[in-house]
Chains A and B, each alone.
Chain A
Amino acid sequence: MSGEATGDLTVDVTSAPTRPWHRLRRSVPGVLGLVIMAVLLVVAVLAWLGALPYDPIAQDAPNRLQRPSGAHWFGTDQFGRDVFSRVAAGLANSVLIAGVAVALSAAVGTLAGVVAGYLRGAVDAVFGGVANVFFAFPPLLLALTLVSVLDRTWFTVALAIAVVYVPIFFRVARGPVLSLREQDFVRAAVSTGQNPWATMALHVLPNISGLVIVQTALSLSWAVLTEASLSFLGLGAPPPAPSLGSMIFESRNIVSIANWTMIAPGIIVVLLVAGLNLLGHGLRDAFDVKGRD
């Protein structure tokens, strides 16, 4: 998708020295994604700091199923809990779990991909074989199975999601390294007798960073979806921690009399995933990475 503003041909002067950040700010999906994510992150940070209008798990029976109002922006649920506070806390949990999961998989997968692509040979064959095994599972099914056998905490949920995305980062990193290692500047470094690990860290890794950043944003959007699906199925972080998926699950029986209990967490989950997707596409334009779709 071309996100560049069209018809603006005066970019010649500025485009030569522009860095990815400047190009991101000129990409329509990129800016939309940045704005959505900035707003959602502010809400998530407020939830982490405990600066919410109500305690997200405090029940208030007399005030059950209140419509959205000045007192309760998104209304209350069947236990009188404030839906806005719960959505904010659920958003914070989603961001935390998806963030930790993708950070883990990006670190492990990228390192493994660089090492395998650079060293080739037996290391490459073994890592590639393991990645193929993980690729043989539909992602959600693998996460589901892993979560079911672990003691469930927010961290094990993040770990299960991380395992699913390690092979994706592995594949994304390994491909370009295969051609990078044949480039003159890498050969020059090798010919000076540089330690291979130093070559990988100083010459190979920086050249795939754009790719990894784009993949990180896109993976975050999938990780949020996976976490929400798991918690919808009752396999996410255990209660009473609020999560967007389990809120939507609980709202199903009362949606006909209190639709805000489904609409509020629903809109937030869609915004979060869409924001990350848009940001990913903006970054793709900014780093000039060819898309997989």
Chain B
Amino acid sequence: MTSQALRRLTWRLVAVAATLFGVALLVFVMLRAIPGDQITASLGTEAAALTPGQQAALREYYGIDQPLVAQFFSWLGELVQGNLGWSVRSRTSVASLTMSALPVTLELALLSILVALAIGIPVGMLAAAAPNTWRDGLGQLVALLGLSVPAFLLASFLLTYAASGVGFNPNGQPYAVPWDSVSALGLNLQQMLLPALTLGFGIAAPIARTTRTAVLSVRDEDFVRTARAKGVGERRLRRRHVLRNALLPVTTMTGLQLGYLLGGAVVVEQIFSLPGIGRQVLLGIQQKDYAVVQSTVLVIALAFVLVNIVTDLAYRVVDPRVRAS
């Protein structure tokens, strides 16, 4: 690695660290802006019955008698050591809640991306194969619908019609942990089916559009013409030469959709009763369990930043041209 590349990498890491610090600060400020405090949040109206002495004791217990700056740095210090706080409602640590919720959301995200690629790439290729024809129009209509149908509408529709129409309602049963047993895995996959279809359809739209644009720009390149001149068959040409090169922007687009996926997970997990990380935030908000909200939002933002860096690096690894520049 050249010294210049090393310096660039160092700067990149400094910038990421600064962003993460800003993220923590923003989350802290947002949640301290809440009217009332932890005491009224956990005791509700009963807090009014406390004597001043009891209130002071509780304030000291929760550490909210400290100045805000001290509170922020003590929270940050605990975070760095892996202590995400204590959930007042569930009476467990936020870290253990998060450890059980994270795999649910990751599984959902992965399956959704698979669904999105399975829909998006063929639709995009179909549209690009005959630009400005009815097939292209159909592809663009599918893409427009994917952008315009809100996840909560599609999810509500699928849930109610699958249940009342064909009696398919695996999400009515308690969430099955996939590694418990083979039958649990089967139920788990059924429970993931409709949520993954919902989220996958939403991301399929930008993937289809990117595929279409990329295929159209690659197929006129010199190397494609050369391959055709050498006598490479059309099928092989499309798969080996055009699609492979068109997949680069598609990779980036897929990575960029993770933000949508993590946001959409809040809605979809709520509708399908999946105990993932998005539902954890929403439950925390509804139950005024702010330690949960504060740390979970931070974990999600952290994951999002990391995914963006990984996408960027993956792009460099996949495409030698980017590496060279």
B219 at the interface (CB under 8 A from A): no
Counting CB contacts under 8 A, is A40 at the interface? no
CA distance A233 to B270 in the complex (A): 8
Nearest A residue to B205 via CB reads A293
Is there an interface contact between B157 and A278, defined as CB atoms closer than 8 Å?
no
User: Does A122 touch B at the CB level, under 8 Å?
Assistant: no
Within the complex, the shortest CB–CB distance from A47 to chain B, in Å, comes to: 21
Minimum CB–CB distance from A219 to chain B (whole Å) comes to 13
Chain A residues in 8 Å Cβ range of B297: 137, 141, 145
A229: Cβ under 8 A from any B Cβ: yes
Q: What A residues does B210 contact at CB under 8 A? A: 293
Please state if A232 and B263 are interface contacts (CB–CB under 8 Å): no
Given the interface contacts A141-B281, A293-B213, does A277 sit within 8 Å of B22 by beta carbon? Answer: no
Contacts known (A129-B18, A148-B285); A270 close to B301, Cβ less than 8 A = no
**In the complex, chain B residues 6-60 whose Cβ is within 8 Å of any chain A Cβ:** 15, 18-20, 22-23, 25-27, 30-31, 33-35
Query: Is the Cβ of B300 less than 8 Å from the Cβ of A233?
Result: no
Q: Does A176 contact B (CB under 8 A)?
A: no
Complex Cα spacing A137 to B278, Å: 13
Proximity string of chain B (292-319) to chain A, C-beta cutoff 8 Å, 1 when within and 0 when not:
0100010011001100000000000000
In the assembled complex, A206 has its CB within 8 A of some CB on chain B: no
Q: Per-residue CB proximity of B69-110 to A under 8 Å, as 1/0?
A: 000000000000000000000000000000000000000000
Chain B contacts with A in 180-221, Cβ cutoff 8 A: 206, 209-210, 213
Assembled-state Cα–Cα distance A118/B228 (Å): 48
In the assembled complex, which residues on chain A have CB atoms less than 8 Å from the CB atom of B285?
A: 144-145, 148, 235
Q: Is the CB of A151 within 8 A of B35?
A: yes
Which residues of chain B have C-beta atoms less than 8 A from A149's C-beta? 30-31, 33-34
A-B contacts counted at CB < 8 A amount to: 138
**A residues within 8 A CB of B264?**
140
Most buried by A among B286, B301, B305: B301
Q: Please tell me if the beta carbons of A293 and B209 are within 8 angstroms of each other in the complex.
A: yes
Chain B residues contacting A150 (CB-CB under 8 Å) are: 33
Residues of B contacting A278 with CB < 8 Å?
144
A153 within 8 A of B: no
Give the residues from 201 to 229 in chain A that come closer than 8 angstroms, CB to CB, to chain B. Answer: 221, 225, 228-229
Instruction: Enumerate chain B residues within 8 angstroms of A232, measured Cβ to Cβ.
Output: 150, 152, 267
Docked-complex contact B148 and A274, CB < 8 angstroms: yes
List B151-181 residues whose CB lies under 8 Å from chain A.
151-153, 156-157, 159-160, 164
Give the secondary structure class of B's interface. Answer: helix
Chain B residue with minimal CB distance to A137?
Answer: B301
Inter-subunit contact A273/B148 (CB<8 Å): yes
Is there contact, CB below 8 Å, between B304 and A2? no
Closest to A265 in B: B153
**Is A138 close to B, CB under 8 A?**
yes
- Shortest B299–chain A CB gap in Å is 11
Interface 1/0s, chain B 271-288, versus A by CB < 8 A?
A: 000000010011001100
Check if B122 is an interface residue, CB within 8 A of chain A.
no
Among candidates A141, A145, A228, A277, residue contacting B152 with C-beta atoms closer than 8 Å: A228
Among A2, A141, A278, residue most surrounded by chain B Cβ atoms (within 10 Å): A141
Smallest CB–CB gap between A176 and chain B, Å?
A: 21
Q: Which residue of A lies closest to B24 (CB)?
A: A133
Report the Cα distance A245→B35, complex, angstroms: 26
Contact of A255 with B259 in the complex, beta carbons under 8 Å: no
**B209 surroundings in chain A (CB, below 8 A):** 1, 293
Nearest 10 A-B pairs (CB), nearest first? Answer: A140-B263, A133-B22, A138-B263, A274-B148, A273-B148, A138-B262, A148-B285, A138-B259, A256-B164, A232-B152
A136-B304, A293-B206 given; name 11 further pairs at CB < 8 Å.
A129-B18, A136-B20, A136-B23, A139-B260, A141-B262, A145-B31, A146-B30, A255-B164, A270-B145, A273-B147, A274-B148
